[in-house]
């Protein structure tokens, strides 16, 4: 999608190119693009969930994750940090056999390990940690085409480094930037996207 600008959907609204795909994936992507992506997310459990889903997405299409999200939530006890932190080897084996999720041993292990790290933090500390890496929005140019949207930034690199230092796994600079985009630390909706225009 490099160089692409907004696309107009069947509903007449201009969207970022990935959010206006037609026709099969349109409903899933449209809803996520319009209602979630780039909107601020707060709360330790909510940010932990997004971190986990972004890690599971690595190497896959985001649509694959979207269509399994409820399965992920059911399999991982709603992504409640302290519940997942208590998972045992038997739980990991159960997850490896669960068709509702992506059955990747390393990603499942990282999800459980990351919950244990997060459980050691004070309430609100994960939220504060992640949001401390949000760049100043006034210092960022508004992207006009998909080519203007970076894959990593100095902030995502620093966030990934900090999380890794604390013991978090499976979150490098690219995954950290995807997390920042998904959770509203940055707004990468294109200049002519209806979501950005309606926020102005």
Residue 151, CB-side half-sphere exposure with 13 Å CA sphere:
5
Does 49 have pLDDT greater than 60?
yes
Rounded CA separation 70/137 (Å): 32
Crossing angle of helices 154-166 and 173-182, rounded to 10° = 110
Give per-residue pLDDT as tens, 153-196. Answer: 999 999 999 999 999 999 999 999 999 999 999 999 999 999 99
Instruction: Tell me which DSSP letter residue 58 carries.
Output: T
Let me know: does 36 contact 30? Beta carbons within 8 Å.
no
Give per-residue pLDDT as tens, 2-33. Answer: 568 998 887 889 999 888 666 655 788 889 99
Give per-residue pLDDT as tens, 98-110. Answer: 999 999 999 999 9
Rounded CA separation 180/92 (Å): 28
**pTM across the whole model:** 0.94
Measured CA angle at 14 (ends 11, 17), to 5 deg: 110
pLDDT at 27: 82
Q: Catalytic positions, please? A: 32, 54, 62
Q: What is the residue whose two structure tokens read 């997060």?
A: 118
Let me know: does 181 contact 166? Beta carbons within 8 Å.
no
pLDDT at 52: 97
Instruction: Tell me which DSSP letter residue 18 carries.
Output: G
**In angstroms, what CA-CA distances link 60 with 51, 54, 110, 115, 183?**
15, 10, 17, 22, 19
Q: What is the residue whose two structure tokens read 């990593």?
A: 152
pLDDT at 104: 96
Pinpoint the alpha helices (H) of 40-153: 44-57, 62-66, 69-75, 81-85, 89-96, 105-119, 125-131
Rounded CA separation 118/45 (Å): 9
Q: Are strands 14-15 and 7-8 parallel, antiparallel or unpaired?
A: antiparallel
Shortest CA distance to 51 belongs to which of 181, 192, 175?
175
Per-residue tokens: 165: 């230092």
């Amino acid at each position: 999608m490099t160089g692409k600008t907004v696309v107009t959907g069947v509903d007449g609204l201009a969207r970022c190119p990935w959010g206006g795909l037609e026709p099969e994936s349109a409903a899933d992507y449209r809803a996520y693009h319009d209602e979630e992506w780039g909107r601020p997310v707060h709360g330790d459990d909510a940010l932990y969930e997004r971190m986990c889903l972004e890690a599971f997405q690595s190497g896959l299409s985001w649509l694959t994750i979207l269509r399994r999200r409820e399965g992920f939530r059911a399999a991982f006890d709603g992504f409640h940090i302290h519940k997942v932190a208590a998972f045992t080897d038997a739980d990991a084996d159960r997850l490896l056999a669960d068709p509702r999720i992506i059955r990747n041993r390393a990603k499942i292990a990282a999800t459980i390990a990351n919950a244990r790290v997060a459980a050691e933090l004070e309430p609100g500390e994960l939220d504060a940690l992640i949001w401390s890496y949000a760049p100043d929005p006034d210092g960022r140019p508004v992207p006009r085409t998909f080519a203007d949207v970076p894959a990593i930034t100095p902030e995502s690199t620093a966030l990934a480094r900090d999380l890794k230092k604390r013991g978090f796994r499976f979150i490098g600079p690219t995954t950290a930037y995807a997390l920042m985009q998904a959770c509203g630390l940055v707004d990468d909706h294109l200049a002519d996207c209806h979501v950005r225009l309606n926020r102005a």
